[in-house]
Amino acid sequence: MSVSQQNFVKKYSALVSQITAGTGIFPETVLSQAIVESQKNGVVPGTQLSMKYNNFFGIKDSAAWTGETVDIKTGEVYNGKATVITAGFRVYPSPEASFRDYIKFLQTNSRYKKAFTAKNYTEQINDIASAGYATGPQYATLLNTIANNITEYITPFNIGLGVLFIGVLSISFYYYYNQN
């Protein structure tokens, strides 16, 4: 794994862990896809789409998308043949918006329904790939290789500390208002 990939995971893993909490999507799935979809020459983010337009997942625009779009050339594989096409892609105001829309994109497309029942990120990545997320024939293998390498760098979201803080704050307010 490159230093660029490590830095990317370290920078975004806490946010991704928070965004994925309770969704059924594993942070490894999100981060490995973001790396694959946004890297260029080993640099993450490295594509124009990710650096300028905050689209870390290569999500194309659709009839349901009401936000800004940009047309960019992209590589696709059709019937085993690599080709370059120009496609419309979603534009996001921030990386966080991209991560959140990726989760929404999976949740609102029934073809990815099976991914939400996966027992681990490997199974989930395979489900997303087999549902047709990308046209590359080795997409799942590539994602799983990256996911296996980034696991140790992911900062988990600790909802327990947030609940503890809210509990302490609630008790403090209770005593304050009942004392006066």
For 37-77, how does the pLDDT look when each residue is reduced to its tens digit (9 = 90+)?
999 988 899 899 999 999 999 999 998 899 999 999 988 88
- CATH T-level assignment (fold) for domain 3-57+96-179: Lysozyme (1.10.530)
* Model pTM score: 0.83
Residue 168 pLDDT: 47
pLDDT computed for residue 75 by the predictor: 85
Domain residue limits, the chain: 3-57+96-179
78 bridge partner residues? 81
Query: Tens digits of per-residue pLDDT, 85-119?
Result: 899 999 999 999 999 999 999 999 999 999 999 99
Instruction: Summarize the confidence of residues 130-136 as an average pLDDT.
Output: 90
Provide the CB-side half-sphere exposure for 58 (13 A, CA). 20
